[in-house]
Amino acid sequence: MRKFLPRGWLEAVSLVAVFALVLSADPVKAQSAVEPVPESAPEVNPQDPYENWNRKVYRFNDTVDRWALRPVAKAYRTFMPDFADRAITNFFNNLTEVRNFTNSILQLKGESAIVAAGRFTYNTVFGLGGLIDVATAFDLPERPEDFGQTLGYWGAGSGPYLMLPFLGPSSPRHLSGLGTDGFLLPSLWDNVDSPDNYYARGVQIVDKRADLIPAEGFISGDVYVFVRNAFLQRREFLINDGMVTRDPFASDDDEDLMLDDF
């Protein structure tokens, strides 16, 4: 079982926040402050200044997915009954309500904290331990909150887009949030002993990958760009609680959005 030391907990969270703030600095501006950019140099996307490296990591992840994860996910969808698939997804989603509750408190969102607590209570008690999402039927839809959103709430910038091996799309703020949610903040996963926690995590990964297979039909054009924009727009949506200041559908950049098949 994973154990935590209460002493130094706040200091650890503070270090993660500082880490996110440092890495969220604009590398393009930092580089231009040190040395001028040659006129012949290719234009750098400010959201993705490490695109060359990120594309290499993406190709690695895509190879692992194509030859390992996706075939398992397809077999999972083939043999797993729909009601059982839905129940497994609901179960793992219910576990995240503790994370949603904690980060809602850290963001001073009292209503969201109450919704997270209510969803966990309803689904655990009346939904057979979370296998059935009865909370949504009671007009308590999920309000995802993570520590990356908490950092954004308190002013930490996202930082450059990063493609991480195995983990996929991310950013310094998002990565800091994943680390804090996974290792510092309270989680029901803390009560699962080894090796059961590894088996459960494996099932969760396969279930989540299987749920993404139907969405593959929407992908068009440059897949790397599509994945990058989908991630950045999703994170912007979450950070701003659905109040997106810029409408991505109003852009004329077809290569950037690639929504022709919608």
Overall number of domains in the chain = 1
Q: Is residue 9 part of a domain?
A: no
Residue 176 domain boundaries: 15-28+44-243
For residue 195, whether the previous peptide bond is cis, meaning omega lies within 30 degrees of 0, is yes
Q: Is residue 115 part of a domain?
A: yes
Q: Is residue 6 part of a domain?
A: no
Residue of 151, 152, 170 whose CA lies nearest to 160: 170
Element (H, E) at 133: none
Distance separating alpha carbons of residues 214 and 67, to the nearest angstrom: 18
Q: Is residue 34 part of a domain?
A: no
Rounded to 10 deg, the angle between the 172-183 and 9-23 helix axes is 160
Distance separating alpha carbons of residues 51 and 45, to the nearest angstrom: 8
Q: Is residue 248 part of a domain?
A: no
Tokens representing residue 42 in the block: 């290719």
pLDDT band for position 3 (cuts 50, 70, 90):
very low
Q: Is residue 4 part of a domain?
A: no
Q: What pLDDT shows up at residue 97?
A: 97
Hey, what long-range contacts does 7-15 have (CB within 8 A, 24 or more apart)?
9/184, 12/184, 13/180, 13/184, 13/185
User: In this predicted model, what pLDDT tens digit does every residue of 210-255 receive, in sequence order?
Assistant: 999 999 989 989 999 999 999 999 999 999 988 765 554 444 444 4
Q: What pLDDT shows up at residue 44?
A: 78
User: In this predicted model, what pLDDT tens digit does every residue of 131-150 receive, in sequence order?
Assistant: 999 999 999 999 999 999 99
Q: Is residue 261 part of a domain?
A: no
Q: Is residue 181 part of a domain?
A: yes
Distance separating alpha carbons of residues 92 and 132, to the nearest angstrom: 11
